[in-house]
Structure 1
Amino acid sequence: MRDITVASTPDYTVRTPRTPGTPGLLPRISGESAPAAAASALPRDRAAARPRERRTLTRADWIGTAVEALARDGLRAVAVEPLAERLGATKGSFYWHFRDRNALLQAAVEHWERTAIDEELERLELIADPIERHNATVAGLNASPKDVKIFMVLLWNADHPVIGPAVERIVHKRMAFSQRLREQAGLSPEQAERSAVHAYSVWLGLQLLRQAVPGLIPQEMNGENLADYVAELGRIAVGL
């Protein structure tokens, strides 16, 4: 007769053979709990189907993704649903950090303004020689195609209630810096103002043509070449 173990519970009695390796019993794995052992025995496809843990998105995550979308696809790309899909998040995560789309747009534009405009002007201010600073300024305007594209997107959408004030701030900052630089180089305030306006107009015109009619402006006209060209046209425009 086979040896039988009787295990009693308040509700019922279970009879199980003590024979090792009895079919239907989970093997005990040394150092591993029963739930863990059961999980390790799951088929791979079922284990893979479990949702991965998502990290908690921060306000900075949404802002950074919005700036990238602005540079990649323009203003229309800064919208809640496509950004949430890109981040693998829900719209609830968005509304935890922002009141609405305009709030995100304002935060993204202000972040870009601070990093691409304010910090760059602060860096240029450290260059003592005004001529050297001027050349570095013009070269810096074209150093980042991404920043150029973002500014052109903002410029094209200057009638937007959030973007309009930002464009005005950015242009005034750049123009004030440029005019002050020219005065330090020896121009009168009137000459410096005209020269700054003409030089900035030339730069904007070149960027618009480059985007609207690709190939019209030679690709090699970048960096120092473009800086020299803009400076020359500015001098001609103001009669210097």
Structure 2
Amino acid sequence: MADTDQIDTEDKSSGWRGSREGWLTAAREAFVSSGLDAVKIQPLASRLNLSRTSFYWFFKDRAALLDALLDDWEATNTRSLTDAAGAYAETVTEAALNLVAVFMEGGPFEAGLDLAVRGWAHQSEDVAARVNAADAERLAAIRAMFERFGYAPVEADVRARTVYLVQIGYISMQVVEDMATRMARIPGYIHTFTGQSPTEAELRRFHAQCGFDEGR
């Protein structure tokens, strides 16, 4: 195989060799569905109908691809959560609904990816460190959300952990729950998380945000 450092960098982003995003998407799908051992260059090349050497136009080696997977996980899951926690809301219940919406079916948080990365963390101290750092960042964002609405730091911390650990529990236990059942529980969850009940108007907006029609 040619020294990848000598490959011309022109047109590395797309073309007949595929694209960096294409390789990364294939790796993410294989990782989530079949685990870390499925993320190997030749099987991914076969999946994409590309040559193995095409891979090296976008990644130095498999380790670089795995690092990119972790970067993608942080950009997808951690950023979606922290953005939601910092989003504008007039009330704490609206803020909590904004946060919960991230985890709902069709939301930006990819539960399967989070579960796969947490499984990977049991095999790698470096990955475990990144997971711990991501958890700390997520909790800090939720804690700041509660503090923004006047909760004392200790109470904000406990409420943040209650919100986050419930959501991660859903993912880790791979809970199967139809949308109607989940929606029926949302007002109770929000009251538990915040100490206040969401208004009917807030719930209607939340349902619309999640694409839920309670009349069906």
TM-score when scaled to structure 2?
Answer: 0.69
The reply to whether residue 220 of structure 1 matches residue 180 of structure 2 is yes
Aligned AA (1:64):
T
Q: Percent identity?
A: 25
2:152 matched to which residue of 1? 188
Letter in 2 for 1:148: A
SS of residue matched to 1:129: coil
- CA offsets 1:91-139 (integer angstroms, 9 cap, x no match): 2222333233221011122123213432553355332324212211012
Q: Which residue of 2 aligns with 1:134?
A: 96
Separation in structure 1 between the aligned mates of residue 127 and residue 167 of structure 2, nearest angstrom: 21
Secondary structure class of the residue paired with 2:135: helix
In structure 1, distance between residues paired with 2:185 and 2:118: 21
Match 1:173 to one of 117, 127, 137: 137
Q: Is the 8 A contact 1:157 1:163 kept in 2?
A: yes
Aligned partners of 1:71 and 1:150 also within 8 Å: yes
The one of 178, 200, 203 aligned to 2:167: 203
Unaligned runs of 5+ in 1: 1-53
Q: More strand per residue: 1 or 2?
A: 1
Choose the corresponding residue for 2:51, options 71, 86, 90: 90
Q: Which amino acid aligns with 2:95?
A: R
Question: Take 2:21 and 2:129, find their aligned partners in 1: how far apart are those partners?
Answer: 22
Check 1:111–1:178 CA distance in 2 against 1; reply closer, same or farther (3 A cut): same
Q: Is the 8 A contact 1:105 1:162 kept in 2?
A: no
Q: What does residue range 47-126 of structure 1 map to in structure 2 within 5 Å?
A: 55-119=16-80, 121-122=82-83, 125-126=86-87
Find the aligned partners of 1:133 and 1:114 in 2 and give their Cα distance. Answer: 21
Structure showing greater relative contact order (alpha-carbon pairs closer than 8 Å, 6 or more residues apart) = 2
| TM-fit CA distance, 1:235 | 5.7
Residue by residue over 1:11-46, the C-alpha shift from the partner in whole angstroms, topping out at 9 and shown as x without a partner, is xxxxxxxxxxxxxxxxxxxxxxxxxxxxxxxxxxxx
Aligned partner of 1:46 in structure 2 is: none
C-alpha distance 109-175 of structure 1, shift in aligned 2 (>3 A): same
Shift in alpha-carbon separation, 1:221–1:185, aligned structure 2, 3 A: farther
The aligned counterpart of 1:3 is none
| Inter-partner Cα distance in structure 2 for 1:91 and 1:178 | 43
What SS does the aligned partner of 1:157 have? helix
How many residues are treated as equivalent by the alignment? 178
Residue type of the partner of 1:66? A
SS at match of 1:204: helix
CA distance in 2, matches of 1:161, 1:103: 17
Query: Compared with structure 1, are the counterparts of its residues 228 and 109 closer, same or farther at alpha carbon in structure 2 (3 Å cutoff)?
Result: farther
CA distance in 2, matches of 1:229, 1:75: 37
TM-aligned CA distance change 1:139 to 1:220, over 3 Å: same
Q: What's the counterpart of residue 15 of structure 1?
A: none
Q: Distance in 2 between matches of 1:187 and 1:55?
A: 55
SS at match of 2:110: helix
Matched AA of 2:190? A
For residues 135-173 of structure 1, give each alpha carbon's deviation from its aligned partner in whole angstroms, at most 9, with x where no partner exists. 110121223477011111111222325532332232122
Unaligned runs of 5+ in 2: 1-14, 196-216
